[in-house]
Structure formats: structure tokens, C-alpha cells
Chain A
Amino acid sequence: MFRRLIVLLAVAGASSPLALAAQTVKIGLINSYTGFVAQPADQGQKGFDLYVKLHEKDLPPGVKIELLRRDDTSNPEVGKRLAQELITRDRVQLLTGIVLSPVAAAIAPMTAEAKVPLLLDLAAAGAAIPRLSPYVARISFTLWQEAYPIGKWAVEQGWKTGYTAVSDFIPGHDSEAAFTKAFTDGGGKIVGSVRFPPTNPDFAPFVQRIKDAKPDVVFIFVPAGTQATGMMKAIKDLGLREAGVNVVAPQDLLPDEELPRMGDTPLGLITSGTYSADAKRPANEAFLAAWKREYGDKSIPDFFSVDAWDGMAAIYGLVKETKGSFTADQAMAFLSHWKDPNSPRGPIMIDPETRDIVQNVYIRRVDKQDGKLVNVEIATIPMVKDPWKELNPPK
């Protein structure tokens, strides 16, 4: 009798509003800690961690965020299974992270079935991915966003013949298509193209081919990191630029983080990108200061780090606004209208129609400052929407 009373009281107490005040928001963070994209993933993770560290105290009282980190080992089917487990077993309220677009594409249909929102922080390829499910939003960037503007810029420089050289996987194909479209639309002619295996060790033969074709400009895409440095070496060794070929690329070729290791070869190279560590915006200065405090003076953030930072900011915004309890539809409504005028990248927002990112794209040139190479922003194209979606409206 007495025991039953205690149980009744306990149950009553547990269901009282006071007890509900403690809310833990479970968020699944799928990153590629191992495998061939471990490098950008690591830069992204640093961005995530830094934001969490600095802004944990901003959460409303009683609300906590639990980040469940999982390694997709750079494998789409592992990523898919992890997402499935996070949804069914750990019952996360939101999924985020993700470097590889095939992982994103594999997970997207699940988000619709299970009604769990997915915020893509790092994956940039696959312009159509947000269309795969109404519960997907992207806050990083798209390859079309980067490559299309530089195609137009190349034509404006008076260059008539172009060549594309990209890694043979979606980001490469996307950027190749984007540059080609912009360049040919502007009156240029593509005289040749080549695609190399994604984990190719030696670029010399490919650069030789480019040299042979003698184009005015060559557009090069390789994934940031290992490959970028290898490509720069080949460009230097074969004297591509000395032979009169101009080189343009998206920011992946010259990530701020790798730049110090490339010697003097990249000097003067033009790239298009969404973030340069050198940017003089106050938001970026603050970000850089916090970064160096946490990771040391030698460490440099790049666009992955900032994308991750912004992603976490959006998620924190969501949690603060809803005090940690939200349905998938509420989350998507919030995220699709997210605006942040003070990101280290400049002003960013998510387009409610496409649920994809809209941001400034910068044309940058590599200059030497204080004996170090930096990407200096020389032109800004404001608030670029993803060109592929503009050119290919949904049927």
C-alpha cells in the first residue's frame, strides 16, 4: 500500500513540467575520420568543436546538446547504415556533418521516410541533393557556385580557348560542367578535357597533355589536400604556366591550410571560393583569433572549418529558438529561413525554395604577405544562388 503510494508520487513527479525542463537534444554527426577525405573532415571537425566549445553556454538553461559522432570511413554504404542506426536506435532529432556527397545522396531518402532533418555541413557536390527529400538543407557550398563564376570571369579576361582537368568523381564532374557551361555561354571554346582517377599519385602525364593542347586557360579541380599539393608540384615541374597557360581553379586547389606547404608555385594563381582565411571582415578576424587560441598559431582554418562552424551555428540557433524540442517540420522551417549576416565567410543565408546555401563568391589571387602566401579576395560576386538549380528548375 505504502509502496504503491510512493510509485504513484514518483510517476506524478516524473511527469510534472518541472521534470521536463531537462532536455537533451541528440544530434547525429557523421564525419569521415578515416579514409581518403580524412583531411577535410578533420578541418571540419575542428570547426564543429570550436563552435561548441565557445557557445555551449549560450544554450537555454536545462537544454543540452549531445553530439553522437560516427565515422563513415569515407564509404557511402557505411554512412547510410550509420544514419539508419542513428535514426532507429539512437533516435536522433537531427543529422549533420557529412563530407562526401554520395553519403548525403544515400541518406537523403531515409530522411523523408523517417522524418529526420539533415543539415549538410561539408558536402559540396551533387547540386540536386536537397531535391531528394524535403528534409535536407545544405549550408556548405556547391561546386557549381564556385566553378560557374570563374568560368564567366575567365571569358571576361579575354581568354578564348579553355581546357578542363578534373578528378573523376561527382565534385569533379560538377565543377567541369559548371565551368564549361559558363565559359561556352560567354563565347569561349573548350578545346579538350581530361579526368584523372580520384586517388591518382602522379599528375605529370596529365599536365603534359594540357601543355600539349596549349589552351589560353585551364580549369583544374582536385579534392583539397593530398591531391592539391601533388597537382601544384606537377604544374611547377612541367612549367605549365611558363608555357603560357593560365590556371584557374575553385578554392579546393589552394586551401588556406595547404598553401604554406606549396612553396612559391601558386603565386598569382586565381581561384574562386567562398572563404579565404585572409579575409579582413571583423567576423573573420574574431573567428581567426579564437581558432589560433584553440589550435595554435601554426594552424590555419579553411573553408571546411568555416562551413562546419556555420552549420553548428544554425543548429544552435534552432535549439535555442525551440528550447530543444522540435519536430522535423519545425526544424526544416527554421533552417530554410536561416540567415547569418556575420559568418566568417560574409553574409550567408539558406534559400527557402531550394533549401540550399546562398552566399558571396569571391575571386581570389595568391599574393605574398609577410613572407607567406595567402588568398587575397580581389572581387566579390554577392549572394550567389546555386547556378545549377537556377538553370535546371524542378519539373
Chain B
Amino acid sequence: MTPSRAVDAFVRRHRYRLLEALPWLAAVASYFVFPDYLALGAQILATTIFALSADLVLGYAGIVTLGHAAFFGIGAYTAGILAAHGWGEPISGLFAGATAAALLGFLSGLVVLRATGLALLMQTLVVATMVAEAANKASFITGGDDGLQGMEVWPIFDLFRFDLFGHTSYVYCLTMLFLCWLAARRIVHSTFGRSLTGIRENVRRMHAIGAPVARRRLVIYTISAALAGVSGALIAQTTQFVSLSFLSLERSGTVLIMLIIGGVGRLYGAFIGVPLYMVAQNRFSEIDPVYWYFWLGLLMVLVVVFARGGVLGLFDRFRQ
């Protein structure tokens, strides 16, 4: 390949491709095609942001975390507590949530990111559990096990009220997802993003060439925490409810699962894995309320056995 061809190919890889418009078209179309499912749709969109944030740390920086729900939950509780105590303006609540989550991400990252492997995994788990315990103990402000009551979210721009059918929620979440995706895409295709891949693949080499490894990991961890906080705040605002389950191990595990099903480190794994998982869960628990866990588990096992690399991995194999 001649140098100019190589450069061309490189540049092309980072330009926006037509295929990337697909998820957005699908999301907009869904608004009209599934008017009865907008509430679920809004949740799927907001959760996609969560999975996207997990992809940044997991897929791009190689940080395996079992505690990402801590950031999700902090974002949710911040937005929620504001709304329950008189400040129900959604956009500023969202920013507050993101900021709180970023702060937690930064502080915990300073401590936690020194470790690797299983120790890192456990540290992230421990941080999340401690945050959950703190939220439980501070039940006078968080509502504890009973959840946060009395949230009142004001209409967006004073115009769009959060109605029972989810119209406003859907558009709100879709817009936020778009913005977060733009940001994530930018990061991933930037020099910074590529250095992350280097860190993930070969830490020693990165140290050797003088790349500030620890700092880079901390930065992406903080950004990812902020995005997770956005997701949490969105869910809080659109359902007008926050509970301790937002901080649970199950939540951290589930976002990983959704991401893995879609495909890790591909940016779009989140867009595939989240709807797939959430729709399947919704359907299964309606068909068989008692044993839906079984079918879900089976789906996960089958994905690992037959569809390694997630759905996007399957696409790759078909293309070859």
C-alpha cells in the first residue's frame, strides 16, 4: 500500500460512515412505529449511554469493572434529590448528576486504578458496595430501601411535560444519547483514544515510550463516570424514582452483560446489546413471569458459545 493510500484508508476509517446513521434512523422511526412503547424506549436509550460509558473503560482502556453502577447511581440520586427538594429543572439536574459522578470517578480512580486484574475488579466492586451502603445509611436523604419519594421534574424548557406515555422522555433521552455518542466517538478516534488502546494492549510498551499511562486511565475513567452519571440522571428523571438497586452489583453486572452481548470495544456494541437485552427481558418476563431468568441465562450462554465477540463479532465473521 502506497503511503498516500494508507493515509487515505486511515482517514476514511474515522470519517462518519453512512451505516452509522442506522441506529438513529431506527430510533426516530421507533417513535412513530411503537407509540405504546416509548417509556421502555426511553429507558433503553438512557441505558445505552450507560453501556457506552462502560465500553469506554472496558473496551477501550481495558479496565474491567464490576462497580460502574456507583457512578450511574450517584448521577441518579443527585438529580433525584434535587428534584425531590424543590429544584426540578431537568437539564441542570442532569449536569449536576454528571458532575457528581465525575467527581466520584476521579476520586475513586485515584485509589482504585493503581491495581490491575482481579484486584482492580475487586476494588471497583468494593467502592460500589461502599457507595451503596452509604446511600442506604443516609436514608433520611435517599429514602433508603424504599426509594426516593416525591420527585417532581419540571417540564423541559418549561414546555415539554413528562407525561405518562413517555413522549417527552423519549425525545429527551434520544437527544442526550446523540450528544454522548458524539462525545464518545470523538474521544475514541482521537489521539487520546488511540493511546488508550495502546495502554490496553501493552502497558509496558506505553510506559517505555513515555506515555502518561496512569493519567490517561484516570481521565477516561472520569469521563466514563460522567457519562454513566448522565445515564443515571436520565433514568431518574424520566421514571421520577430512584432506589438502591441503581447502585447494586446486579446493575453493574447487567450493563457488562448487555455490552458483551453487543460487542465490546466497538462503540456500537452498546447500541445493539442494550435493546436486545432489554427487549428480551421485557418480552420474557411477560410470557413467563416466573422463569424468565432461565431464558435470559440461556441466551447469554448461547451468545458465548456461538457468538463470541457479541453480535458485532458475528457480523464480522459473516463479512469474511
Contacts and interface: CB of A to CB of B under 8 A. Distances in A.
Interface string A31-46: 1011000000000000
B243 A85 contact: no
Contacts of B166: 84, 88
A102 B285 contact: no
Nearest to A198: B145
A69 B147 CA distance: 23
Nearest to B246: A77
Contact of B164 (A33, A88, A126, A168): A88
Contacts of A84: 39, 164, 166
B146 A170 contact: yes
Interface string B238-260: 01111101100000000000000
Contacts of B149: 105-106
B146 A105 contact: yes
A110 interface: yes
Give the interface centre of B40, B290, B292 by most chain A CB atoms within 10 Å: B290
Contacts, number: 74
A76 interface: yes
A344 B228 CA distance: 51
B165 interface: yes
A122 B240 CA distance: 24
A332 to B, nearest CB: 19
Nearest to A90: B36
A88 B290 contact: no
A85 B289 contact: no
B164 A102 contact: no
Interface string A363-384: 0000000000000000000000
A246 interface: no
Interface residues of A, number: 30
Contacts of A85: 39-40
Interface string A88-112: 1100000000000110011001100
B147 A88 contact: no
A297 interface: no
A76 B147 contact: yes
B145 A77 contact: no
Interface in B274-309: 285-286, 289-290, 292-293
Give the interface centre of B37, B40, B286 by most chain A CB atoms within 10 Å: B286
A80 B239 contact: yes
A102 B43 contact: no
B313 interface: no
B47 to A, nearest CB: 12
21 contacts: A33-B290, A34-B290, A34-B293, A70-B285, A71-B285, A71-B292, A76-B245, A77-B243, A80-B241, A81-B40, A81-B43, A85-B40, A87-B164, A88-B36, A88-B39, A102-B243, A105-B149, A106-B147, A168-B144, A170-B145, A198-B145
A-B CB proximity, top 8 nearest: A169-B145, A71-B289, A102-B146, A89-B36, A102-B147, A76-B147, A170-B146, A33-B290
Given A77-B235, A88-B164, A110-B164, 8 more contacts: A31-B289, A73-B285, A75-B245, A76-B243, A77-B147, A84-B39, A87-B164, A89-B36
